[in-house]
Structure 1
Amino acid sequence: MRPSQWYEAQDMFGDHVTLTQLRPHHAEGVLAASGDDDVFAWMSFDRPTTLTEAEAVVARYLAMPDTNAWAQVDTKSGELAGITTFYEINPERRSLIIGGTWLGERFQRTGINTESKLMLLTHAFDTLGAVRVAWETDERNEQSQAAIERLGATREGLLRKHKPRKDGSWRNTVIYSVTDDEWSQVRDGLRSALDR
């Protein structure tokens, strides 16, 4: 596996969602999908309310170092449902973090998140040869923690005062992961969840 392949955001296709490399033209879809302030409560930026702000959100994702960003596109409607990323990509350690993820409220609990994570994990473990995939979330974000736990990830611990929140306070970050040893069991669980 060439290290450069870790930095290529390949398009992925599922029954519920298509993951396509995030590009500037996705800004209009970002604006349309981001109608609920609650979706952005835990993000490091506010909900975009204008096309200019949505363009800035996309530019922010695209400027992140060691990151692949995907637009999550609802297969049924063709609408942009949200964004997700691989970040802190480290081919030498064969690890990465899935995060920076948000879904518009009407796309939540539709199978999009589960299938998106199944495709991302399949790409990480089966294509890239990752040994560890992690998630980070705010200790106060119980919805995110529950979603990560439903994926089958293991809660590893807490990083205290890990990152500043957008309001200037310091967040404690909960760390989760799946390792290559656990991947087949996690994959089977995600497939089963999608079949329900």
Structure 2
Amino acid sequence: MPRLNEFNQSIGDPILQWTPRQAPTPTTLQGQFCRLEPINAKRHGPDLFAALSTAPDDRDWTYLFSEPFATMGALMAYLESIQTSRDPLFFAIVDSKTQTAVGYLTLMRVDPNSGVVEVGNVYYSPLLQRTPAATEVQYMLMKHVFETLGYRRFEWKCDSFNAPSRSAALRLGFTFEGIFRQAVIYKSRSRDTAWFSIIDSEWPVIKAALETWLSEDNFEPDGTQCMSLVDIRQRLVSRIPTGLPTARQ
């Protein structure tokens, strides 16, 4: 039952000890398969251009706000323009084996007062797509947001037509919240935006599932997964207590 105020109106849960959180700052997050580094044009530009050049066509850019980078100069100019930004805050994704940048993404639309942040501007080159590192990137970012920064809500938004992005959000454990119609104009077209989120009380189960999926025991010698992330989470959901402290505690 919802709480009622003195006017018999339903109101939300009390937030008694909340304090505004720190905004994300440039930092390095180290994982098993990859790491996230503050993006730097000179350090990451050549690797990123080589990585994006492995794509057979430009379909990966259809739902991104930026256009494909046809030349190294165009990419370098873009990276130089965003490397000092703090919202969005850009990270390069560096493969642990090759020590080369294979993609990038951001934390954006930061709201420290309410503890809300979005992951966005996600570009995974073919060298990163469908690899354990692609999942580990999101795990590291979620852990940073919920456990280091102490945020309450982690958002994922995409073009409603972007089926791969929507499937990825659901696989990772985000909850679909609905469609914002005609929310954005980009690339001379209208975008209906699909909204997804994870909140702090959901993080313990999602964390346990991601860590189980990423463990060495979950992969065959040829790299094939033993159990899917969705199956692991479904098995855990009835057994893992949501015991991490949340903003409401």
Aligned positions, number: 194
Map of 2:130 onto structure 1: 109
After superposition, residues 34-49 of structure 1 pair within 5 angstroms as 34-35=52-53, 36=55, 37-49=58-70
Question: What secondary structure does 1:101 align onto?
Answer: strand
So what's the TM-score if we normalise by structure 1?
0.92
Map of 1:95 onto structure 2: 116
2: CA distance between counterparts of 1:38 and 1:105?
Answer: 11
1:143 Cα deviation after fit: 0.6
CA contact (8 A) 1:89 1:97 kept: yes
After superposition, residues 145-164 of structure 1 pair within 5 angstroms as 145-164=166-185
CA shift in 2, pair 1:63/1:8, >3 Å: closer
* Paired residue type of 1:133: F
CA shift in 2, pair 1:169/1:60, >3 Å: farther
* Paired residue type of 2:213: A
* Paired residue type of 2:52: S
1:64 Cα deviation after fit: 5.0
2: CA distance between counterparts of 1:59 and 1:149?
Answer: 33
State, as a whole percentage, how many aligned pairs show the same letter. Answer: 27
2: CA distance between counterparts of 1:61 and 1:151?
Answer: 27
Q: Which has the higher helix share?
A: 1
1: CA distance between counterparts of 2:20 and 2:199?
Answer: 21
After superposition, residues 120-135 of structure 1 pair within 5 angstroms as 120-135=141-156
2: CA distance between counterparts of 1:183 and 1:45?
Answer: 31
Q: What value does the CA root-mean-square deviation take over the aligned residues? A: 1.7
* Paired residue type of 1:110: T
1:192 Cα deviation after fit: 2.0
After superposition, residues 16-95 of structure 1 pair within 5 angstroms as 16-25=33-42, 26-35=44-53, 36=55, 37-62=58-83, 66-95=87-116
Larger radius of gyration, structure 1 or 2? 2
* Paired residue type of 1:127: T
So what's the TM-score if we normalise by structure 2?
0.74
2: CA distance between counterparts of 1:15 and 1:7?
Answer: 22
2: CA distance between counterparts of 1:39 and 1:63?
Answer: 25
1:59 Cα deviation after fit: 3.4
* Paired residue type of 1:158: I
1:66 Cα deviation after fit: 2.2
CA contact (8 A) 1:31 1:49 kept: no
2: CA distance between counterparts of 1:193 and 1:162?
Answer: 35
Map of 2:221 onto structure 1: none
1:9 Cα deviation after fit: 2.0
2: CA distance between counterparts of 1:128 and 1:7?
Answer: 7
Map of 1:7 onto structure 2: 24
Range that drifts further, 133-142 or 22-31: 22-31
Question: Which sections of structure 2, spanning at least 5 residues, go unmatched?
Answer: 1-18, 219-249
1:144 Cα deviation after fit: 0.8
Map of 2:160 onto structure 1: 139
